[in-house]
Amino acid sequence: MKEACETWEEKLRRTEEIQLIREKTLEELGILVEKNTVGVHPPKKVPYLVNLNEDPFMSECLVYQIKPGATRVGRLDSDIPSDIRLSGEKIMDNHCHFENEKGVVTLHPSQESITLVNGVRINKPKKMRSGFRIILGNFHVFRFNNPKEVRRERDLII
């Protein structure tokens, strides 16, 4: 009943507050959020991961930026700080990290983590290329994309 008595401005303000809380929560999980846009918009200049799923409606819904320097991946419920926070079986507190040096990205798995690149488990650093498939733990599947790399290769062809 209280909501029915609210003015349009009060409803708008409350909706904006809820949107800010959602954006903050997504950013804390490491999910890319572009202000004042609707839908998923991958970055045009920085490397990123996009989720993959058997269900086409669930695939490519989440985008995680690989920022310059180290981007750490860990458990959602861990006390260890992570830039990308995941839950699920076999995700370790400090699962892996991506090192982005001038647009060249290397994936560094932690010891004993389940980290696969293109279906092969890795236990040492691996240089990433656009299109590589990454599996973290038992269930998290991503595609790595590097817009700068794709542009460089496209320019070589032209």
Residue 31 has pLDDT above 90, yes or no: no
Evaluate whether residue 101 is within a structural domain. Answer: yes
| Residue 18 confidence (pLDDT) | 82
Which CATH number do you get for residue 111?
2.60.200.20
Does residue 104 lie within any of the structural domains?
yes
Evaluate whether residue 135 is within a structural domain.
Answer: yes
Tens of pLDDT, residue by residue over 58-109, are 777 788 999 999 999 999 999 999 999 999 999 999 999 999 999 899 999 9
Residue 153: is its pLDDT beyond 80?
Answer: no
Asked whether residue 7 is assigned to any structural domain, the reply reads: no
Cα separation values, 69 from 3, 40, 54, 91, Å = 47, 24, 31, 22
Local structure of 96: helix, strand or coil: strand
Q: Establish if 8 belongs to a structural domain.
A: no
Residue 43 domain-assigned? no
Residue 12 pLDDT level (bands cut at 50, 70, 90): confident
DSSP state of 143: E
Q: Is residue 141 part of a domain?
A: yes
Range of the domain at 150: 48-157
Structural domains in the chain (count): 1
13 in any annotated domain: no
